[in-house]
Homo-oligomer: A and B are copies of this chain.
């Protein structure tokens, strides 16, 4: 971290600032220049907040980080791609994996029917919401533990590992047999939940918040990794902008940028990003070409009757058609599906 002082700063105030920094146990290097004075902070400054440093003296012109505030997720320190292995289904590296299933778990018949269909089409993992974050308290909130039970039934039937969302750390015991725990966009900065998930050894699928920057997503992943859990999968699922033609705006540029900054795998959720079923195919293809490590797609046996998000769900037949395109493109890009 570099602190640039205002020209002709008061010597007494410079001394105060240096003393204050020393008292925080930071190595400092003060360099007096003819044009401007700067202070270099040496060592690990990841616990320092730029705003707090800025506020610590009125002689500071600006503060600039020269290293990123994240360490564990940083590709600089871990150049190789992380590959998350979920019971044989690999996400990251040269692999390209598709997670598919309904928005909400509704019934055993539904789950098994969809699980078989998506497996046949090439999905490697099964998703389904047991706990549903809904804007309204009067909307269907999910089947809870019964939902997880049905997912496990579908897993037993098909062998597909399951991915489902956690909404509260008080539910964590219910997730004992879940293969991948999903943190939804609304909980991306539920830091207490992230800390708890850092302590378990299950893969965590971390979705980007609707108003969160890429750096904030990486910092949330850092919360999990700092706790000791390095199986984190990042998911770009659209951000909130002024455009209303799509539910959210898929930030496709986030994929190559996140992969440049971090070694973690990055997947794309075209269903939630667009909120429109017939955009799933073109956005899935864009995700493959831009370098994503996988997709998360909503599939429902009967979208018009879906209890949630029917307008963005594909039927198994539509999903199969999309997967055909995705498989050809992934092969073209030398990805293993």
Cβ-neighbour of A246 out of B20, B168, B227, B257 (below 8 A): B257
Cβ–Cβ < 8 Å partners of A254 in chain B = 243, 245
Q: Using A64-B4, A246-B257, A290-B285 as known contacts, say yes or no to A226 and B133 having CB atoms under 8 A apart.
A: no
In the assembled complex, A8 has its CB within 8 A of some CB on chain B: no
Q: Using A62-B64, A136-B49 as known contacts, say yes or no to A253 and B242 having CB atoms under 8 A apart.
A: no
Chain B residue with Cβ nearest A192: B168
Chain B residue with Cβ nearest A171: B192
In the assembled complex, A222 has its CB within 8 A of some CB on chain B: yes
* A213 B243 Cβ-Cβ under 8 A: yes
In the assembled complex, A273 has its CB within 8 A of some CB on chain B: yes
Q: How many copies does the complex hold?
A: 4
| Cα-based distance from A62 to B70 in the complex (angstroms) | 19
In the assembled complex, A89 has its CB within 8 A of some CB on chain B: no
Q: Using A36-B40, A54-B311, A189-B186 as known contacts, say yes or no to A46 and B282 having CB atoms under 8 A apart.
A: no
In the assembled complex, A156 has its CB within 8 A of some CB on chain B: no
Describe A's contact surface by its main secondary structure: mixed
In the assembled complex, A143 has its CB within 8 A of some CB on chain B: no
| Cα-based distance from A306 to B53 in the complex (angstroms) | 9
In the assembled complex, A235 has its CB within 8 A of some CB on chain B: no
* A289 B329 Cβ-Cβ under 8 A: yes
Cβ-neighbour of A308 out of B36, B49, B282, B304 (below 8 A): B49
In the assembled complex, A107 has its CB within 8 A of some CB on chain B: no
In the assembled complex, A307 has its CB within 8 A of some CB on chain B: yes
Contact with B along A281-314 (1 / 0, CB 8 A): 0110111111100000000000111111111110
Cβ–Cβ < 8 Å partners of A285 in chain B = 289-290
Chain B residue with Cβ nearest A35: B40
Cβ-neighbour of A170 out of B56, B170, B260 (below 8 A): B170
The number of chain A residues with a CB under 8 A from chain B is 111
A196 to chain B, nearest CB (A): 9
Cβ-neighbour of A135 out of B4, B216, B309 (below 8 A): B216
Interface members, chain A 162-176 (any B CB < 8 Å): 167-171
* B219 A137 Cβ-Cβ under 8 A: yes
A19 to chain B, nearest CB (A): 12
Cβ–Cβ < 8 Å partners of A210 in chain B = 211
In the assembled complex, A77 has its CB within 8 A of some CB on chain B: no
Cβ–Cβ < 8 Å partners of A291 in chain B = 282
Contact with B along A182-206 (1 / 0, CB 8 A): 0000110111111100000000000
| Cα-based distance from A37 to B330 in the complex (angstroms) | 46
A251 to chain B, nearest CB (A): 5
Choose, from A26-34, A80-88, A146-154, the stretch at the interface. Answer: A26-34
Cβ-neighbour of A279 out of B215, B219, B256 (below 8 A): B256
* B62 A222 Cβ-Cβ under 8 A: no
* A51 B311 Cβ-Cβ under 8 A: yes
Listed A/B pairs (29) with beta-carbon separation below 8 Å: A4-B64, A29-B33, A29-B35, A31-B31, A47-B140, A51-B275, A51-B310, A51-B312, A55-B303, A58-B304, A62-B66, A64-B64, A69-B136, A69-B138, A136-B219, A168-B193, A186-B189, A186-B191, A190-B190, A239-B242, A242-B242, A244-B244, A246-B253, A246-B257, A252-B286, A253-B283, A256-B282, A256-B283, A286-B290
